[in-house]
Chains A and B, each alone.
Chain A
Amino acid sequence: QVQLVQSGAEMKKPGASVKVSCKASGYTFTNYGISWVRQAPGQGLEWMGRVSAYNGNTNYAQRLQGRVTMTTDTSTSTAYMELRSLRSDDTAVYFCARNAAIIRWHPLYYMDVWGEGTTVTVSS
């Protein structure tokens, strides 16, 4: 079955970096992009950005620009999200999700399969 399996929980100090992985199975990895979404404790969902597994193209949320990098490894069907210069307000659950699309002149994307989430705690 189609699934995304994420790496385990991380605890980091302020200023450090974290790299979360998301391993895909059950579908052709390069046919879909991956979005990353985070959720701070008790808060709503925040879209962080997306990466194309076909060509590596990325779009990032402006507020994370410069601190986040999203990549893919097609040899292992794995997507990665690295966040640098961590702050306490980066404490959140980080989800990866597959980007399905209705292909037309202006594609419509939606996230149809989600990973289970990775808890990242930033604390001194």
Chain B
Amino acid sequence: QQQVKQSPQSLIVQKGGISIINCAYENTAFDYFPWYQQFPGKGPALLIAIRPDVSEKKEGRFTISFNKSAKQFSLHIMDSQPGDSATYFCAATPGGTDKLIFGTGTRLQVFP
């Protein structure tokens, strides 16, 4: 019940295209859903986050879509750029805790 399942494992997108990464969870007690971006040799960094009372959140080219009934959430990167090439992790926080349960990660490569 504490897992977050992420797909795809890897993604190749052409510059200017849309990158979509999906995550699903089973524990309905999760109440905070951040996405982290990690470049090689660096620690993860928060990209964008959403709470379950909102169905969508947009920050620049990055959008989180959240489907509470389906227990799924996704990251959309519009107009993908080579600089977006990184590994992306979805995560979720169980209610009443401060923990982050991470998905398995998606390696995104954006080619010019």
A, B: real partners = no
* B-binding residues in A (CB < 8 A): none
* A-binding residues in B (CB < 8 A): none
